[in-house]
Every structure is written in C-alpha cells, then in structure tokens.
Chain A
Amino acid sequence: VVKMTSTLKGITLKGSAELVAEFFSFGINSILYQRGIYPPETFGRVTHYDMSLQLTTDPKLKNYLTDVVSQLKEWLFECTVQRLVLVITCLETNDVLERWQFDIECDKSAKESSAPREKSIKTIQDEIRSVIRQITATVTFLPLLETPCAFDLLVYTDKDLVVPEKWEESGPQIITQSEEVRLRSFTTSIHKVNSMVAYKRSDSM
C-alpha cells in the first residue's frame, strides 16, 4: 500500500520527507534480515515498491524503529539531517564490523517556495527499488558475521539543532581497517540520498 502523500501533480517537501523516511524504514529492515542480526523467523514478508521485502514482527524492535523514523521524518522536513548510519557491532569483542552510511543532501530552496516539483513517483520508486536490490546483492561479497551482533542507528545533524529528549550524543564508531564500497543513489528532486557500505577487512579480524 503506497500512501499518496504527495499530490499527483508533483513532490512537496513534506511528501519527499515521507518518501525518504519510508525508504529508510524498509532499507534498515532489509539490512537486518540479510545480515542475520535477528533470526529470520522474526521477519514477515510484505510487498512494497513492487517487490517483496522483509519487515520485522518483534514488537520492541518495531517500536524502536518507529520512534527513530518518525524523528527522522521531522528532521528531513526541516532539512537539518546530513547523514544516517547503521552500525553493526560484535557483542563479544565490542568491535565495529560493518557501517552502512546514507548521506542526505537537501535542497533548501524547497523550504522557501511551496511549489511542488516535477518528478513522478514511479521514477523515484524505481530508483529506490534498484538501491534495495543492490543492498541485497552486497551479501555476496561482505564477510560472514559468525559472532552474535547488535546494531545501532546514528544520525549526523546540524550543529545548532536542539537535541530531543530520548537522544544523546555519540561517537562516530569508525571501523579501524575498512574497505568501502559506494552503492547507488536516488533523488526525489528535493532530497538526494547516497548509499555506501564499509566493512572490516577479514584478514585483520
């Protein structure tokens, strides 16, 4: 079910923020399923963007993701968020094993003018679909995660932002010897999202 939050005539800032937040929600679920952070039986299949995706049914995880994504939607609307990072940590050694990074470039002129932009939703959905397919395909070259792992979501925002109640400052959690791979990007003509993945080199583990 695709909510037509933007008018059929074009994309507004609010509609673009909703589309990007929706992509993050499905993208994060896909990564958690593909990398095996949570057992596969806790995921249910849904259809979105004309493809079948996995969505978690664990209530705690769902609540956490809903909180983060709703806050992210606000920040996208205000154009104060620069980057979203999903960090995968090994629980035994507390090492950072993988880092999925999504850079967000916001066209601030859309805040002043409220005229919708000409870009069809179908094109945007096609772009998002290719990004998610590519994420699924990265499993072939990423090293196996054999130890039990947990994940965390970091958000890079503007310096002068007011920190909301449930959030706190954190370090960047950079991998010590990493290989980086740049993935596809997509744009809604107001927000542009670049994806990349960094993983720890397996000979140094």
Chain B
Amino acid sequence: MDLEDDTTILTTLKSFNSFISQSEPPRGAILTAPPTLQSQYKRSFELLEAAEKVQSKTRFLQLDQEKKQMELSHKKARLELEKAASDSARDLEHEQGRNQELYARIKRLEESEAQAMERLKEQQETQRSLRKALDSLNKSLEEKEDKLSTANQTISSLQDEIRDLKLKLQSQDSTISTQGLEKEELQEKLLLQQRKYQDVSQLCQSLQAAQSTCSEHVLKIKELERRLVLQEQDMSIVKMVKSEAAKVPELEKELKRLREDNAFLRENRENCSLLKEEAEGLRRKLERAEKTREELLCLELDKEKLAAKLEAWENLGQSSGLNIKSPEDLFREVMQIQQREITLKEQNYMLNSRVRSMERSQSELQSEACQQRACTAEEQRRREAQDSLVRRLQKRLLLLTKERDGMRGILESYDSELGATEYSPQLNRRVKEAEDLLQKTQSHNTEMEAQLTKAQEECGFLRLQLHTVEQEAEELKRKQASAMDSVSAVSKEEVAILRQKIEDLEAERQRLEQLNGELEMRLEKHTLQGDFDPAKTRLLHFKMNPTAVAKQQRQQEVDSLQEEVTRLRELVRVVQESGAQDESSVLGLSLSLPPSKEVLELRKQKESSELKNQRLKEVFQKKIQEFRTVCYVLTGYQIDITTANQYRLTSVYAEHMDDSLLFKKGSSGSMQLMETEFSKTLGEMVSLHLHHQKSIPAFLSAVTLDLFSKQTVV
C-alpha cells in the first residue's frame, strides 16, 4: 500500500512538473497576446487547484498510513495483554491453591494449640493445689519451731533465775553474819559511850560552876578597867589644865606688851594719815605747776608762730606786688579776685554746657549713623536672602522638570507595554509609590530650605549685631579718648567718691570675712561638742541600754544597802541596850540573816574555843588565888611579883604596911635579898641566917618568929 501511495505521489508530481513546463513557453506568447492573460490566469488558477488537490491527497495517504500503523500497534498490544492476562490468571490459581493449604495448616495448628492450653490449665490447677498443701505444711512446721524456741528461752531464763537466787542467798547469808558481828561491836561501843557520858556530865557540872565564878570575876575586872580608864582621862585633863594654868602669867605679860604696841601704832597711824594728806596736797600742786609750765611753753610757741604769721602777712603786700599795707587792702584785693573767679567760673560753666550739648548731638548723630548702617545691613541681608531664595527656586524648577520628564518616560514605557490587563493594578501601585516618594522628597526639600533660610537669617542677624557692637566699641574708644582729653572736675570727684566707696566696701568685706571665720570656728567647736540642728536631726538611743541597766542595778544595790544599814543600826541599838550578857539573843538576831553553813560552823568553833579559853582562865585564876591564900596562911608571907625577877614578901605579922623583903632572882637561879628599909632593921638575922647558914627559909622563919613575938608581946 505504501508503494502505491508513493507511486501516486510521484506520478502526480511528474504531471505537475510537466504542466508547469508546458506553461512556460506559452508565457512568452502571453506578452504579445494580452487576451490570453485571462486564460493563463485561469490556467494558473487551475494549476493551483490541482496542486492543492495533490497536496490533500498526499495528506490523506499519509493519514491512512498512520492509521494502519496504529492499528497494527494496537493489535500487538492486545496480544501482549492477553498473554499477560493468561499468565496472571495461572498465577492467581496457583496462589489460591497455596492459600487453601495454608488455611488448612492454620486450622490444625489452632486445634493443637487449644489442646495444649487445656493441658496447661489442668497442670496449673494441680500445681496450685500442691502449693497450698506445701504452705500449710510450712506453717505447721514454723509454729512448731516457734514453740520450741520459746520453750528454750523459758528454760534458759529459768536457769538464770535459779543462779541469781542462789547468789542472793549466799550474799544474804554473808550479810547476816557481818551484821551479827557489827551488832556485837556496836553493843560494846555503846557501853563505852555510856561510861564516857557519865564522866563528861560530871565534868560539865564542874565546868558550869567554874564558868559562873569566872563570869563574875570578868565583870569585876571590866568595871575596874573602866574606872582605870576614867581615872587616866581625868589625869590627862588635870595635866592639861595645869599646863594651861602655867601659861597664864606669860599670856598676861604678852597682853600688856601688845596693848602698849597697839597704842603706839594707833598714834603712828594718825601721824601717817596726816603725812599722807600733806603729800597728796603737795603732789597735786606739783602737777598743776607742771601743767602751767607746759601751757606756758605752748603759748610761747604759739606766740612765735603768730609773730611769724604777722610778719608774713605784713610782707605779703611786698611779695605779691599789690598795694597792700593793711587788712582792708587785702580784703579789697581778695574781693576783686573772688569776683574775677566768679566770672571765670560762669564762663567755664557755659563752655561746659556747650561742650555737653555738642557731645549730645554728636552721640545722636552717631546713633543715627548706627541705625542707618543697621538698615543697610538688613537690606543687604534681605537681598542676599532673596538671591538665595531665587537660586533655590531655580534649582527646584530644574528638579521638577527632571521629575516630570522621568515620569513621562515611565508612562510612555508603560503605555507601550499596555497589552495585558494584568499590568494595570501593578502600574497603579507603582504610580502611587512614585507619587509618595515624590511627596516625601518634596517635603524634605521644603524642610531643608526652611532650615537654610533660618540659618541665613540668624547669620545676617549676628552680622548686624557684630556691626553694632563694633560701632559701639569704636564710640567707646572715641569717648574714652575724649574723656581723657577733657578731664573735668566732676568726673574726678566721682572717681574719688567711687574709690572711697570701694575702700569702705573692702573694709566691710574683710570684717565680714573675719566674722564668718569666727562663726565657723564656733560652729566647728559646737559640732565637736555634739550640737545638732533640731529641725533636721533626731537623736535616738536604745531603750534597754547599758547605762540605764547599770543605773537600775545601782539603785537596787543602794536600796538593799540602805535596808541592811537600818537593820544593822537596830541590831547595834539592841546590843547596846541589853549588854553583853545576852549573847544568845545577839547571836539569834545576827542569825536572822541567811548565813552560810561554813560561817555558822566557824562561828560555833570560835565560840566554843573562846568559851574554853575563858573557862581555862577562870580555872587558873581561881587555882592560883587559892594557892596564894594557902601559902600566905601556911607560911605567913605574901609573895608578890613586882617586876620581872623581883619578889616582894610581906609578913602576916608586919608592923607597917610598907615592911617588906625584896628578893631578886639572879641569872644563875639563886635568890638574893635586896636592900629595903625593913631589911635594914633585920641586919643581925640577915648576917646569921643568910651569910653564915646560907638558908633563906631559916631567915624567913626567924623573921616571922621575931615579928610574932613582937606582936604578941605588944
């Protein structure tokens, strides 16, 4: 079929070409014969139609070919698909068979699983039952064990108890034995104590008797001592009085002498006062005389000065060249001069007023000139401002034209591209953005221009100020120069006055500075001392501060001490009233204080020792006294100890109280008879018994016998 198509195509092409070549030669003939144009045109038109037909045929053939190809391909595909389908069907059957096999297996397995589960459950049940049996057995075993252990513990405890009880029995037996022994010992001690008690009671009774006598003797001794003290005081008073009495005549003599001196001094005093008055009068006279002398000197000086002045005045007329011979001439001259001065002063004042008016006019003109200059400067400034404005406006114009051109170009570009309606919203947005930007730039521009105008105005203003200041400075300089030239008295006076004021102010400033310094020092001293400003400062301290606490404690101590003092005073009063006998009551009062145990014991010890001492003293005294009386009675001599080793013997039968013998104990221990008046009368017996027989007892007995015989005889 293809070949047929191709051949048709070729044949048609050939026919076409032949037709075309046929048409060419007749084209030359067309030019000579114009009516054949139409036929040629028709021919060409027919050729065109034929060409078109050929073309359509070829297209048709092509399409047929394509269709056939497509059908072939469709068939092939169908065959392949059928093959695939058959393959897949076979596979499917295969799979299904396998599926069924698997299902059967699954069922078998499930059955076996169920059986296994049943077996498992049965076994679990048996296991549980077995476990329960085991548990019960275990429990019973444990109980039995517990019981056994408790039984063991009770057995051990009972054994311990048995041991303890045995030990206790033993210890108690031992204690019983020891206590029996102790009881025997105590009984023996008791017997001893009873015997001792009896002895001690006897001693107590004897001691009490001795104590009573001792206390009586002590009282007597105290009385005697008091009397002795009083006597000694009287003695001392008597001595003082004696000495004073002895001084009396001397004092009388002195008194007389002093009275005489007094009278003498009084006379002298009167004389002195008189003399003093005279001296005062003389001194005053002297002062007056000196004053008059000084005045005299001054007056002489004044006289000389006045004389000189007078000479000067007299010579004035000659020295000044005027016709002056008397004060009237001088007066006349002075008047003339004064008149001349007045006229000159008037002229001076006129000139001054003219000068001032000239100066005023000058100053006014200068101020006008300043103003004019200021105006010109302002005009200049305005012109400059205007120029700058013009320039700015021109620049703005340029910018605006440029913007406009730019906008036009953008718009043209957009117009050229304007085919799709999608661009219009974008365009509008872009236009809006551009407008906003433009506005912003314009506003920024206007702001900058405004700032620039402001700055330029300020600059112009400053320049004006500068001009005016410079002009003022020039004026001041000119004024200064003029002031220096024309020094008027008025300005001088003003300057002097101002200087005076300045000095006063300086002095006051220094004074105020000094005052300030003093006040600052005082303030410093006060702050050091601790002063403060109550308006700004507050002073606080802790309520429970150590000073308050210490004061409280001190107050409490003081109160307690006062109480103790009053109590002690009462005690003392009580003691003084009752006397020393009531020692027990004193002790009781003092014991009302809470004393410590040690103090009580010590007091008791002290009392007991004092009592012992006293009793011993009394006993000794009593015994000694007894012994001495017995000796006196038996031997007939009273032996007294006068000083350390001297013994004085007085006989019972002595005729006079002073008759006594004095013996001294020597260093070797032997007794020696000392010389007394009585021993002088016993010279014979001394020589016989002491020198020959060397026996003092014989001597003493001889003396006794002698005296006794004397007494009885008489």
**Residues in A74-107 with C-beta less than 8 Å from chain B:** 82-83, 85, 87, 89, 91, 94, 99, 101, 103
Cβ distance B605 to chain A, nearest Cβ, rounded Å: 35
A59 contacts the other chain (Cβ, under 8 Å)? no
Separation of A163 and B546 alpha carbons in the complex (Å): 20
A161 contacts the other chain (Cβ, under 8 Å)? yes
Across-interface contacts of A83 in B (CB, < 8 A): 532, 537
Instruction: Please tell me which one of the listed residues A154, A159, A161, A196 contacts residue B541 in the complex, with CB atoms under 8 A apart.
Output: A154
Separation of A85 and B525 alpha carbons in the complex (Å): 16
Cβ distance B577 to chain A, nearest Cβ, rounded Å: 36
Q: Is the Cβ of A166 less than 8 Å from the Cβ of B544?
A: yes
**Residues in A119-152 with C-beta less than 8 Å from chain B:** 148, 150-152
Chain A residue nearest to B536 (CB atoms) is A159
Known: A175-B529, A180-B529. A159 touches B546 (CB 8 A): no
Q: Is the Cβ of B528 less than 8 Å from the Cβ of A168?
A: no
Separation of A182 and B554 alpha carbons in the complex (Å): 34
Q: Is the Cβ of A91 less than 8 Å from the Cβ of B545?
A: no
Across-interface contacts of A8 in B (CB, < 8 A): none
Across-interface contacts of B531 in A (CB, < 8 A): 172, 174
Chain A residue nearest to B555 (CB atoms) is A91
Known: A152-B546, A170-B540. A101 touches B528 (CB 8 A): yes
Cβ distance A66 to chain B, nearest Cβ, rounded Å: 11
Cβ distance A105 to chain B, nearest Cβ, rounded Å: 12
Q: Is the Cβ of B538 less than 8 Å from the Cβ of A158?
A: yes
| Interface residues on chain A, number (Cβ under 8 Å) | 42
A156 contacts the other chain (Cβ, under 8 Å)? yes
Known: A61-B546, A180-B525. A155 touches B530 (CB 8 A): no
Instruction: Please tell me which one of the listed residues B535, B537, B542 contacts residue A153 in the complex, with CB atoms under 8 A apart.
Output: B542
Contact indicator per residue, chain B 495-536, by CB within 8 Å of chain A (1) or not (0): 000000000000000000000000000000101111110111
Cβ distance A145 to chain B, nearest Cβ, rounded Å: 14
A6 contacts the other chain (Cβ, under 8 Å)? no
Q: Is the Cβ of B550 less than 8 Å from the Cβ of A150?
A: yes
Separation of A170 and B539 alpha carbons in the complex (Å): 6
Q: Is the Cβ of A168 less than 8 Å from the Cβ of B540?
A: yes
Cβ distance A84 to chain B, nearest Cβ, rounded Å: 10
Separation of A171 and B545 alpha carbons in the complex (Å): 14
Separation of A91 and B525 alpha carbons in the complex (Å): 27
Separation of A64 and B548 alpha carbons in the complex (Å): 13
Known: A180-B528, A180-B529. A155 touches B539 (CB 8 A): yes
Separation of A153 and B540 alpha carbons in the complex (Å): 9
* Secondary structure class of chain A's binding surface, majority of residues: strand
Across-interface contacts of A91 in B (CB, < 8 A): 550-551, 554
Known: A89-B547, A158-B536. A152 touches B541 (CB 8 A): yes
Counted as pairs of residues, one from A and one from B, with CB atoms less than 8 Å apart, the total is 102
B543 contacts the other chain (Cβ, under 8 Å)? yes
Cβ distance B524 to chain A, nearest Cβ, rounded Å: 9
Cβ distance B545 to chain A, nearest Cβ, rounded Å: 5
Cβ distance A81 to chain B, nearest Cβ, rounded Å: 9
Q: Is the Cβ of B540 less than 8 Å from the Cβ of A157?
A: yes
Separation of A51 and B532 alpha carbons in the complex (Å): 35
Separation of A174 and B529 alpha carbons in the complex (Å): 7
Q: Is the Cβ of A196 less than 8 Å from the Cβ of B538?
A: no
- Among B531, B537, B547, B549, max chain A CB count under 10 A is at B547
**Residues in B128-143 with C-beta less than 8 Å from chain A:** none
Q: Is the Cβ of A151 less than 8 Å from the Cβ of B542?
A: no
Q: Is the Cβ of B528 less than 8 Å from the Cβ of A198?
A: yes
A178 contacts the other chain (Cβ, under 8 Å)? yes
Across-interface contacts of B548 in A (CB, < 8 A): 152
Across-interface contacts of B532 in A (CB, < 8 A): 82-83, 156, 172
Cβ distance B569 to chain A, nearest Cβ, rounded Å: 23
4 new A-B contacts, CB < 8 A, other than A167-B542, A169-B538, are A101-B528, A150-B550, A154-B539, A157-B539
Q: Which residues of A contact B (CB under 8 A)?
A: 61, 64, 67-68, 82-83, 85, 87, 89, 91, 94, 99, 101, 103, 148, 150-159, 161, 163, 166-175, 178, 180, 182, 196, 198
Q: Which residues of B contact A (CB under 8 A)?
A: 525, 527-532, 534-551, 554
Can you give 30 A-B contacts (C-beta < 8 A)? A64-B546, A91-B551, A91-B554, A151-B546, A152-B542, A152-B545, A153-B541, A153-B542, A154-B541, A156-B532, A156-B540, A158-B537, A158-B538, A159-B537, A163-B538, A163-B540, A167-B542, A168-B541, A169-B539, A169-B540, A170-B540, A170-B541, A172-B531, A175-B529, A175-B530, A180-B525, A180-B528, A180-B529, A198-B528, A198-B529
6 closest residue pairs by CB, A with B: A150-B550, A180-B528, A150-B547, A152-B547, A170-B541, A152-B545
